[in-house]
Structure 1
Amino acid sequence: MTDKIRELRAFDPHLFINVDIGVNEITIPELVSAGATHLSVNSAIFSDPNPTEAFKRLQTLAKMS
């Protein structure tokens, strides 16, 4: 998936790129590094026993990446 994101980013550096499949704590740094601008983390949040804390962790991770 990151190859496709990089390809899109190279095509248009200002393109809005949203990823909504396979987004989690492991993939967030890779996706952001590849050029994703928006991440849908619904599954990662709602599959966690503490959704509020999961949201905070994921948000922090995305900002740091």
Structure 2
Amino acid sequence: MVLVALILFIISIVFLIYSITLLMGKDGTMFSLFTKEEKALTKGQKLTIYLITIVLFVASLVWLLNLI
């Protein structure tokens, strides 16, 4: 069970980095790697992705710390 929580935590960190890069926009060096659809997202959609990843990160962190 700890292994599953650890994997979920690592995935949530990757998603968090992705959403922060997406929010940074053209200032980020990784912005050129995004598809046209990802570049065309509105600020509201980008913020929604960011908030969902924050919730996933916190939930996985709490679950991991609860198991340890």
TM-score, scaled to structure 1: 0.31
Larger radius of gyration: 2
Q: Normalized per residue, which structure has more helix?
A: 2
Higher relative contact order (CA 8 A, sep 6+): 2
Q: Which has the higher strand share?
A: 1
